[in-house]
Amino acid sequence: MIRTTTLNKQKIINNLIKFLLLIFSFTFFFITASAQIIFDSGFENGVSDWSDSGVWKQVPANAVSSTDSREGVKSVRFLPISDNKRSEFTIRNGKGHFGWGEEFWVGFSIYLVEHPTGYRIISQHHSTPHLLPDGSGSADWSCTAGPNSFIVLAKDDNFLIRTSTNSNNVNTVPPVGSASWGLQEVSRPYQLNQWYDFVLHYKYTLDNTGFMKVWLNGDIIADKQDTPTVYKYDLCGEPRAPRQYQKIGMYYGTGNQGGEILYDAFRIGKENSSYDDVAPGGGTLTTDEFQNIDIRIFPNPIKNNKIHIQLSETILINTIRIYDILGKEVFTKNIQSSKNNILLKPNLSEGVYIMKLNTSEKGSISKKIIIE
């Protein structure tokens, strides 16, 4: 009897050990397979993750604001500066370096309080010229970097999104002057006093393994596949250092006496991350099938509870459902009709919601909407 009891106890202990090992293995797998977020800055603890050092950079002391935010209670505010200096941040400790041949996801949100004047770059992946031969790892800035790989400008009530490269010039020495760099440009209108969410998925390469996708408020606005995405040489004709680095702010220029921009919810993820991991405000991405269809929801934020949905092609829509931030379904409309223009009046209170369209031909799509 004693032997039997001892064996039962040992069996229980062995089973418990196996169970704990199983839980450990599952947890380890989950952690290692989860999103690899390498930078996450919501400015809730100030700007310690960012640097304003440099001859041409200077950020006002009141950079952190608690009056407006995309997430949390704080954002970073950029104002124009005298003496032709840039109101600009770069990410500290190399966390904002994007190595060539590596895959990255980046998300951030921009809010324009006042139109910037002068030279209007507000976000970019800046290139790096060749390194000095002293082994210090420092770049030779006397040669200037040459074309940058991703740029957002604010000009004439539009975001101008520029991506490199002109594939024919990838292995040539770039000409002096950014107007001749052959960057590919997309224009999208913006309004003041509204948050705009950017998400990027890209790999910088000199060969056809490179790609660049850019989303604005959940809609794809740039999609480059199987193409070079960087220029090889700096302006001295030397091979550039194989990395880009992240800069945000508001650049100086002639007559740069105006402008005010807020940034928030800045995240960088590596290849095993996703759109949802870096998107500001927990944004959701369309299904793969829907990525080939241009879907507009306007205005967004939505006023007077009137939601206009416009699709680039007519498809059979079954239902449209809207969920609040807790996942509760708050609106349903049965369509059962082929449409490409829809007007909804859901009568919802102010807040953030997820709208889901279900179709027969293209699966489903989720879009974040804001009711004002």
In a domain, 31, yes or no: no
Q: Kindly give the residue spans of alpha helices, DSSP state H, lying in the chain.
A: 2-33, 275-278
Asked if 256 and 117 touch (Cβ cutoff 8 Å), the reply is yes
Q: What is the pLDDT of residue 32?
A: 36
Q: What is the pLDDT of residue 328?
A: 75
Residue range 196-210, pLDDT digits in tens: 999 999 999 999 999
In a domain, 24, yes or no: no
Q: In terms of DSSP bridges, do strands 37-41 and 260-270 run parallel, antiparallel, or are they unpaired? A: antiparallel
Residue range 5-33, pLDDT digits in tens: 555 656 565 555 545 444 433 343 333 33
In a domain, 6, yes or no: no
Both 210 and 350 in one domain: the answer is no
Measure the CA–CA gap between 133 and 141, rounded to whole angstroms: 13
Both 52 and 174 in one domain: the answer is yes
Both 41 and 176 in one domain: the answer is yes
Angle of CA points 178, 216, 284, to nearest 5°: 145
In a domain, 126, yes or no: yes
Burial (0-12, 13-18, 19+ Cβ within 10 Å), 310: middle
Ranges of residues in the chain with a pLDDT under 50 are: 18, 20-34, 61, 286-288
In a domain, 195, yes or no: yes
Both 192 and 167 in one domain: the answer is yes
Residue range 164-184, pLDDT digits in tens: 877 888 998 888 776 667 778
CATH of the domain at 237: 2.60.120.200
Both 219 and 361 in one domain: the answer is no
In a domain, 12, yes or no: no
The last residue of one of the domains, among 258, 281, 304, is 281
In a domain, 153, yes or no: yes
Measure the CA–CA gap between 144 and 178, rounded to whole angstroms: 12
Measure the CA–CA gap between 350 and 65, rounded to whole angstroms: 23
CATH of the domain at 364: 2.60.40.3080
Q: What is the pLDDT of residue 257?
A: 66
Q: What is the pLDDT of residue 116?
A: 84
Both 224 and 299 in one domain: the answer is no
Q: Which domain holds residue 314?
A: 289-371
The last residue of one of the domains, among 261, 281, 301, is 281
Burial 134-172 (b: 16+ CB within 10 A, else e): eeeeebbeebebbbbbbbbbbeeeebbbbbbbeeebbee
In total, how many domains does the chain have?
2
Measure the CA–CA gap between 33 and 26, rounded to whole angstroms: 10
Both 246 and 135 in one domain: the answer is yes
Both 239 and 100 in one domain: the answer is yes
Q: What is the pLDDT of residue 31?
A: 38
Nearest to 293 by CA among 185, 220, 359: 220
Nearest to 205 by CA among 175, 248, 171, 160: 171
In a domain, 14, yes or no: no
Both 181 and 82 in one domain: the answer is yes
Q: What is the pLDDT of residue 58?
A: 59
Q: What is the pLDDT of residue 72?
A: 81
Place of tokens 């450990």: 24
For residue 163, what is the enclosing H or E element?
strand 158-163
Q: Return left, alpha or beta for 83; rule: phi > 0 is left, psi -120 to 50 is alpha, else beta.
A: left
The last residue of one of the domains, among 252, 281, 310, is 281
